[in-house]
Amino acid sequence: MKIDRRGFLKRSGAAAAASVLPVSLVKLAFGQEQSAGQQDFTFAYISDSHIQQIRGAQFVRNWDQGLKRAVAEANLLEPAPDFVVFGGDLAQMGTKAELDHGAEFLSALRYPLHCVMGEHDYYLDLGEYWSELFGDQWYSFDHKGVHFVVLNSVLTYDEWTFERWESPERRMQEMAGLDNPNGSPFMVGERQREWLRNDLANVPRTTPIVVLSHSPLQKIYKGWNFWTEDAEEVQAILAPFEKVTVLYGHVHQIQYNQIGSIAFHSVMATAWPWPYPSTYAQSGAYVPVMTVPMNRADPFNERDATGWQFIDVHTGRAAVHYTLYDNKNRTVAYNAATGRPEDLEYQHPARRIPPQAHY
């Protein structure tokens, strides 16, 4: 049985094929013309590794394995992505030992690395050691005609950060519990919003913007800090731009949304999955209506409902390819016809499968 190129493409499907074939294939999937001045490119995204120290040199094996595997597989991407982003929460309790252990895993990546800060990295020492390892907590850079902005979107009210807790360790512990009623909502804060306004002041409205953030820059469910307190203000700063994509971590699940000109995509965690907020019966919460949930996790397989992703940027819009373990991989891409991100396979209600509804 011979497999010719056409047969190979048909058999492996768009999602898998995109890992080995040129980005031009993504272009063909949408039938769009290429805008002048913009190139297509791919970058990888690994997030929420939560390296957790038990004692001494002993770390939670499960989270170590998750990060190791994501790094090993990301290194296999062909053609190679332009760079890789780490999306935050490298450590669990923000200790030097955890950050070092995580950084060691990340050092095996064979691409340039840009890092986004998460609350588990921040609240022990307010990012001091993180900055030593990875640089600025917020910054921007340009790549092939796209303007990238990295935010520290896990700040919170000054009183909570500086006055409420008797020690940094206690503060970190209180922020570490997702459902902790003593927690405090994330925000970007006035200082960074000011910086963002200035950073974007001279960027043409037609330049595609990609914002890398840990918190969602939306208000999804406050009880689990799937929340950014000043989401509306941040969105207002981004709104004038024609093509904006926000990529965020923290939620450990597939979410996507469109607000105005801004497409939002969450990225998967390498460590462990979280249920959707709507599954907490007392929450009254929901996820964006257009999100097709990821398959419910089987707790036996430590990697189920974890994963990593690579993102194709084409005409300034993003297509997120989720590499999922023991599941069919999924692609959520911006659909120009409907003006919002959609899942290539499951978006239509008739195409959903039971594992996406059995929450």
Partner 1 sequence: MRWMLLLVSLGAAWQAAAQPLGLPPVPIPEDNPQTPAKVALGERLFNDVRFSSTGTVSCANCHAAATAFTDGLPVSAGIDGLLGTRNAPTIVNAAYNATQFWDGRSPTLEDQALHPFVNPVEMAMPSHDALLEIIRGDREYTRAFRNVFGVRPAEIRIEHVTKAIAAFERTQIAGDSPFDRWYFGGEENAISDAAKRGFDVFLGDGRCVSCHTIEQDHALFTDHRFHNVGIGVNEMQDRIAELAKAFLIAKAEGIDVDVAVLSDADTSHLGRFAVTGDLSEIGAFKTPTLRNIARTAPYMHDGSLATLREVVEHYNNGGVTPADAPVNPYLSGGIRPLNLTEQQIDDLVAFMESLTSPQFEELVEPEPVAALGGRRGQQ
Partner 2 sequence: MRRLLLAIVGAAAFTAAQADEFTEADLERWAAHFESVAQEGRRLWTSAELGTNGVACGQCHPNAANTHPETYPKFQKQLGRVAQMWEMVNWCIRNPLEGTDLDPGDPRMTALLAYMAKERRGVPIEAGKH
Asked if 113 contacts 84 with a C-beta cutoff of 8 angstroms, the reply is yes
Q: Does 141 bind partner 1 (CB under 8 A)?
A: no
SS3 content of the chain, % helix, strand, coil (to 5): 30, 25, 50
Token output for 358: 């059995």
Asked if 295 contacts 306 with a C-beta cutoff of 8 angstroms, the reply is no
Strand-pair partners of 59: 53
State the nearest-atom distance from the C-beta of 9 to partner 1, in Å.
Answer: 8
Q: Name which position in 32, 35, 53, 65 contacts partner 1 (CB under 8 A).
A: 65
State the nearest-atom distance from the C-beta of 259 to partner 1, in Å.
Answer: 31
Q: Does 274 bind partner 2 (CB under 8 A)?
A: yes
Token output for 202: 């001279």
State the nearest-atom distance from the C-beta of 97 to partner 2, in Å.
Answer: 13
Q: Name which position in 282, 337, 349, 350 contacts partner 2 (CB under 8 A).
A: 282
Q: Name which position in 15, 21, 133, 178 contacts partner 2 (CB under 8 A).
A: 178
Asked if 207 contacts 232 with a C-beta cutoff of 8 angstroms, the reply is no
* Nearest by Cα to 90 from 130, 49, 128, 59: 49
Q: Does 252 bind partner 1 (CB under 8 A)?
A: no
Q: Name which position in 15, 21, 60, 113 contacts partner 2 (CB under 8 A).
A: 60
Q: How far apart are the first and last CA of the chain?
A: 42
Choosing among partner 1, partner 2, none, which partner's interface includes residue 4 (Cβ < 5 to 8 Å by kind)? partner 1
- Give CA–CA dist 357/71, Å, rounded: 30
Q: Does 52 bind partner 2 (CB under 8 A)?
A: yes
Helices and strands, counts by H and E, the chain: 10, 17
Q: Name which position in 2, 5, 6, 358 contacts partner 2 (CB under 8 A).
A: 358
| Distance from chain centroid for Cα 59 | 24
* CB of 220 or CB of 313, closer to partner 2: 220
Classify 335 as helix, strand or coil. strand
State the nearest-atom distance from the C-beta of 179 to partner 2, in Å.
Answer: 4
Q: Name which position in 191, 242, 326, 338 contacts partner 1 (CB under 8 A).
A: 326
State the nearest-atom distance from the C-beta of 49 to partner 1, in Å.
Answer: 14
State the nearest-atom distance from the C-beta of 269 to partner 2, in Å.
Answer: 11
Whether the link from the prior residue into 79 is cis, omega within 30° of 0, is yes
Q: Which residues bind partner 1 (CB under 8 A)?
A: 1-5, 8, 12, 16-17, 19-21, 61-62, 65, 68-69, 71-73, 75-78, 298, 300-304, 306-307, 323-326, 329
